Structure 1
Amino acid sequence: MTDARRPEGLLLDAMGTLIGLRRSVGSTYAAFAAEYGLKVDAEAINAVFPQLFRAAPALAFPGLEGAALLEAEQAWWIELIAGCLKACGHEGTLPEGLGPALFAHYATAEPWQVYPDVPDHLQRWSDAGLKLAVVSNFDQRLHPLLEQLELAPWLDAVVVSSAVGAAKPDPRPFQRALELLKLPAAAAWHIGDSPEDEAGARAAGLHCVLIERQQPAGTPGGSNR
């Protein structure tokens, strides 16, 4: 059996582990809403977003791919955005274009930051010969986002829940990453920031290390957004 203290590969959570938001969800949603004629309090959104995010169905769509998967991903987020605004007092339907605009915004590097220690860690792990994969409860936007944030060159694989059809704490995203890295569970660790990371990793037979980051208000702690 491989010594758990000497892994051959690392599976890494994305949001809250490698990258995080530059400003709160509420401030961004409120700013975009204002452009569509809606006045929404940023702090009110920050108060409701974490609960609504956790109550939402898993961001996972078994059997979908291509354009159908992208459509399902965007619809998932637009429903969450609409729910946030409704909970903050907005009546009626979401203004046309607001949901897609926010969806497109979070596909760019602008709202995101790479935590300062991450590049050095990735380089050191890569130099040590470790295989590296991201496992995230996110959607296909993560692939180009990691390219824009200049993290992709260190990564051997990226697995997102929407495409694999299951979300952490389900073990399947971890199992898919291990398949792509061609490693048994005993040869890898997972690094994340949430109970879902820990439960999913253990269900997949992985040793798990949890870290804690400072995140903007309104960010659902340990949500893997």
Structure 2
Amino acid sequence: MIKGVMFDFSGTLFRIEPAARWLRTVVTKAGLDVPEDELDACVRRLEDFGAQPGGIPPRTVPPSLEALWRERDLTAERHRSAFTALTREAKLPAADLAEALYERSQAAGAWLPYPDTGETLRALRGRGIPVAVVSNIGWDMRRVFSVHGVDHLVDAYFLSFECGVKKPDPRIFQMACDELEVAPGEALMVGDEPAADAGATALGCQVHLVQPLPVDERPDALAEVLRLL
């Protein structure tokens, strides 16, 4: 019987805005006049390098950045350094946009909840089932939950950069189970990354995976969570 649920953040409960909107928002704010074809080409390069936090995974990581990329979620400094370095590799319209793009990726308005995020969290709260967010991340995204009005439905957050350990290490899942006061065998981990989120099985947790699709393409994938209880 499931008595506690852990959720991943990006690609599970929320999704970052499309890379094209991400870049255009920052370029417009900077007052730059960049031809559309150049913007489109830059978006493709940003996606190739996986330079948008929470966006498409990198198709290629420069050898000089591989070590930093592997450890990006362990500290805020490494996270910022990894992603700003990747944006610079994408040959931005202006070099100083790297920091602005990184800041935009942490804005609550850049993130959208999946259509069934709120109703799923409310249903769990109604059933008395505690919820934790367990995420490999290098910044504090609690404000995203607050701005979108669902922070009161989350009992605890376990963020890799705060915990000093990241998924799939069983220790971060154990931390969450301890806080929720449930045995691992009574916990469900819901995420979108098999390699990371399925690490919870090492403790005996159940795992349910969803697809990290754009928000408008995934209306009700979290509903399955309620059927697993």
Mark the runs of 5 or more structure 2 residues left unpaired by the alignment.
51-56, 216-229
Could you say if the C-alpha distance between residues 10 and 143 of structure 1 is closer, same or farther in structure 2, counting changes exceeding 3 Å?
same
Native 8 Å contact 2:87 2:98 kept in 1: no
Aligned ranges for residues 22-33 of structure 1 at < 5 Å? 22-24=17-19, 27-29=21-23, 32=26
Distance 1:89 1:143 in 2: 31
The TM-score normalised by the length of structure 1 is 0.75
Query: Which one-letter code corresponds to 2:135 in the other structure?
Result: S
2:12 aligned counterpart, secondary structure: coil
Aligned ranges for residues 3-152 of structure 1 at < 5 Å? 6-24=1-19, 27-29=21-23, 32=26, 35=30, 41-49=42-50, 50-51=57-58, 55=66, 56-61=69-74, 72-86=75-89, 88-89=90-91, 95-96=95-96, 98-152=97-151
Distance 2:116 2:4 in 1: 19
RMSD of aligned alpha carbons: 2.8
The structure in which a higher percent of residues are helix is 2
Question: How far apart are residue 33 of structure 1 and its match?
Answer: 5.7
Distance 1:203 1:117 in 2: 28
Question: How far apart are residue 127 of structure 1 and its match?
Answer: 0.6
Could you say if the C-alpha distance between residues 81 and 22 of structure 1 is closer, same or farther in structure 2, counting changes exceeding 3 Å?
same
The answer for the alignment partner of 2:53 in structure 1 is none
Distance 2:85 2:139 in 1: 21
Native 8 Å contact 1:58 1:167 kept in 2: no
The answer for the alignment partner of 1:185 in structure 2 is 184
Aligned residues: 196
Could you say if the C-alpha distance between residues 57 and 33 of structure 1 is closer, same or farther in structure 2, counting changes exceeding 3 Å?
farther
Native 8 Å contact 1:77 1:99 kept in 2: no
Native 8 Å contact 1:59 1:161 kept in 2: no
Native 8 Å contact 1:18 1:118 kept in 2: yes
Distance 1:30 1:36 in 2: 11
The answer for the alignment partner of 1:154 in structure 2 is 153
Question: How far apart are residue 140 of structure 1 and its match?
Answer: 3.5
Distance 1:33 1:80 in 2: 17
Could you say if the C-alpha distance between residues 47 and 99 of structure 1 is closer, same or farther in structure 2, counting changes exceeding 3 Å?
closer
Mark the runs of 5 or more structure 1 residues left unpaired by the alignment.
1-5, 62-71, 217-225
1:110 aligned counterpart, secondary structure: helix
Native 8 Å contact 2:2 2:188 kept in 1: yes
Q: Does 1:215 align with 2:210?
A: no
2:143 aligned counterpart, secondary structure: helix
Could you say if the C-alpha distance between residues 163 and 210 of structure 1 is closer, same or farther in structure 2, counting changes exceeding 3 Å?
same
Distance 1:171 1:36 in 2: 46
Query: Which one-letter code corresponds to 2:132 in the other structure?
Result: A
The TM-score normalised by the length of structure 2 is 0.74
Distance 1:184 1:7 in 2: 10
2:70 aligned counterpart, secondary structure: coil
